[in-house]
Structure 1
Amino acid sequence: MFYSRRINKDTQKVEVWECEWSNKGTGMAKKEYICKVGEEEDIDFSHDDYSAADAVCWAPGRTIGNIAVSSEEAFGMFEGTSGDDAILPCQIIPAGKFRNGAKRWYCKTHQIHWGVKADYAAASESGEVNCSNHLIKMSYVINPLEIEFKDFEEIGIWCSLPPALSSESIEKRAPKIHVHKRFGNKANKAVDSDFDAIVCSYNAEMSLFANPEITKIQITPPAAFEFVRSIEEGRNMSCVTCKKCGYPHLDLGDFAVSPHKKHFCGNCGNDSIWSSEPIVSTPLKPLHDQFSNSNTYTFPDRTLCLDDYAGLKFELWASTPAVLWTANRPQEKGIHVHVYKDGRRIVDDTFGTVISQGKELQRETMWENMVQNTLY
């Protein structure tokens, strides 16, 4: 069961209804209006009701619900466990008033306000209250990998990007989330894989955010990519919290390129959030800083000459800063190299110096190549 809104064609008022999906998971799910709750302006209820945390959704340049929210209203639209073509229903909530005094709503799914004359006109024709972005295709993961932080585990989380240089043609792709996980002092990793998106859950005693009810953070490709890019390119990062709903704010797209003071809450639509100085705001920053070694680096003194492996397949990356690193040792900063022979990886390490065709490769150039090879 979930809430949805529609326009009463006779009164032109926004009504709130309890709804449920029929034919869920078939790709042809139909929203059924079960019971009218009342008119928006006459009722008071929590918009967190009927919510769940079993799906992570995102679109290029945005992460639904400001990195930490999902909605039961969306689940009827998913055909599989993951995908990149879901058209999700709007989740419209009240969001104060426009400057002219007219009531304003906000779509948490597509992160845009609703309530101008064009919105009412469109709703009057269909009966549905949909925002102007409602046809944007979303990526999603159902029941994503959930990472918990425990004292006996070593966890590393990175933004996985395409190679900077390869002996073969490089196929451009979207970022992914790479996870390393070890138990105790064991040499072998229990997890060493790329994921479309993950969820990190933590103890509320960490006090990462002003809202104590937030104990999970969704790490999506857009959020991870912008976080790593801000570190690499030296942008001032912090995390500002919305004073109205208590959610941490996430800057993505153009807002993640230029630090700024005024921010827009992706969770409730509040457009008057101010930071004390120009920043790029991301909830990944306090999570990253919780573990001291996330901010310490060492430059390996190892050297590799690719010319010694002539004719073999290879791939190179700039080793990027981890989104999260719990190991009791610094991260290595250099160029990471894979070399393959007969289908087997014979080199898998990070080097301070890499020589190719007689010239030393520059890590900064490798990073720029990775960004150019990334679909975002």
Structure 2
Amino acid sequence: MAPEDTLDLDFSRYPGGIALWGSVPAVYDTTNKPIDRGIHVHARLEKGGEKVVDRTYRKLRIPLAKDLLSDGWAEVDEIDAINYMVSAVFGFQTITVNCTYCGFPHLDRDWFAVHAHRRHQCHGCGKQFSDNGPGVGNPLATVRHMLGAQKPKLVPAKKKVTFKQRDFPGGVQIWGSNPAILWTSTRAEEDGIHVHAFKTADEEMPSGLDDTFTEVVIDGMVLDATHVRAFMAQSAMPHLEGRVLDLVCPGCGDHHFDEGEHAFTPHIEHRCGSCGLCFCARGQMKKTIANPFAGVRHALAKLAPNPLRNDKLGLRPETI
């Protein structure tokens, strides 16, 4: 890891507010920008002022003494942040879990990030241990508690946007919004679809669009924020690779969207939310998850001035 990928983040230097998110590659990306993964940081010197920090890091160090014997720094790792995002999108609250043998802070990844369980395998000593009750472990739960993090206040984004990709030859990036790991601002966090649009390929920051929108229409196609958000989390779970598809009901022709547990559990039979018909995915892959955005992104790519990227996090699948 390069030194510039780590940030020593002193909260006292940014009284205007700090926000941290788990960051993953854009669900739609036709730019030439570096892959985004880790902890995305916003920091302001003044309330309502310009962001003086707006970048993704692979590790954060926060001056925060856990006890009298600690060195006074709490670390936030990119893998912790990514799995926190996955858990949060699917409604799982993470808790502090430490190995009962070696004390190593435990992180539940991939499948385990969306299934509460009591039995864990330590990533430190390798032993299996049991916690007091079922839950999803993430070291960020401890950091959030020590920093006094509150439950995020989410409000729908106010802005709407309609555009054509040809107007932004530098490319377009799209993410679903997700609850911040930490949000110190007094204003509510916006919920919607985050869009970057670049007028040229050589600009570092998007001069066209850089905002969160409640409604996004690109080349006449309406994006659904719930679908985009779910696809982002699904794409960060390596055991789901190749299983998230755009499935069309053979009865009524509607595009099916799996919700609840079905949104992160591949299954054979799908029940159409419109007509109630039960159907299966065509092809060799039998256990699948339906998300219409899987089809929307390919439809958008046909009209894009640049090729669609398919960046992977390269994480190892972890499942039972």
TM-score, normalised to structure 1's length?
0.53
Q: Which residue matches 1:262?
A: 119
| Residues 324, 292 of structure 1: alpha-carbon distance in 2 compared, 3 angstrom cutoff | closer
- Inter-partner Cα distance in structure 2 for 1:142 and 1:152: 19
- Structure 2, unaligned stretches of length 5 or more? 236-310, 316-320
User: Which structure has the larger Rg?
Assistant: 1
Structure 1 residue identity aligned to 2:107: L
Task: Provide the residue aligned with 1:55 in structure 2.
Answer: none
| Cα gap change, 1:142 to 1:319, in 2 (>3 Å) | closer
Structure 2 residue 218 is matched with structure 1 residue 356:
yes
Further displaced range: 328-337 or 179-188: 179-188
Per-residue deviation, residues 138-175 of structure 1 (Å, max 9, x unmatched): xxx69932223328532212222222224x26899572
1:105 corresponds to:
none
Query: Which residue identity lines up with residue 137 of structure 2 in the other structure?
Result: S
Q: Does 2:167 correspond to 1:311?
A: yes
| CA distance, structure 1, for counterparts of residue 138 and residue 180 of structure 2 | 15
Number of aligned residue pairs: give it: 230
In structure 1, the partner of 2:144 is 288
Matched position secondary structure for 1:163: coil
CA distance in 2, matches of 1:352, 1:180: 20
Name the structure 2 match of 1:330: 188
Aligned to 2:105: 248
Deviation at 1:185, TM superposition (A): 2.8
Which structure shows the higher strand fraction? 1
TM-aligned CA distance change 1:215 to 1:265, over 3 Å: farther
Tell me how far 1:252 sits from its aligned partner. Answer: 2.3
Matched, 1:160 2:23: yes
Aligned positions of 1:149-188 closer than 5 A:
149-150=11-12, 153=15, 154-166=17-29, 168=30, 173=35, 175-185=37-47, 187-188=49-50
Closer, same or farther: CA 174–299 of 1 in aligned 2, 3 Å: closer
Corresponding residue to 2:179 among 321, 343, 354: 321
Q: Structure 1 230/201 Cα, relative in aligned 2: closer, same or farther at 3 Å?
A: same
Deviation of the 1:362 alpha carbon: 0.9
Aligned to 1:227: 84
Segments of structure 1 that go 5 or more residues without pairing to the other structure are 1-80, 83-140, 206-210
Shift of 1:310: 4.3
Structure 1 contact 181–189 (Cα < 8 Å) conserved? yes
Larger deviation: 329-338 or 180-189?
Answer: 180-189
How far apart are the structure 1 equivalents of 2:32 and 2:224? 19
Partner of 2:135: 279
Identity of aligned residues (%): 27
Task: With a CA cutoff of 8 Å and minimum separation of 6, indicate the structure with the bigger relative contact order.
Answer: 2
Q: 2: CA distance between counterparts of 1:142 and 1:353? A: 35
CA distance in 1, matches of 2:174, 2:5: 32
The 5 A counterparts of 1:121-200 are 144-150=6-12, 153=15, 154-166=17-29, 168=30, 173=35, 175-185=37-47, 187-200=49-62
CA distance 1:374–1:333, change in 2 (3 Å): farther
- TM-score if structure 2 supplies the norm length? 0.61
Partner letter of residue 340 of structure 1?
Answer: F
Structure 2 letter corresponding to 1:333 = D
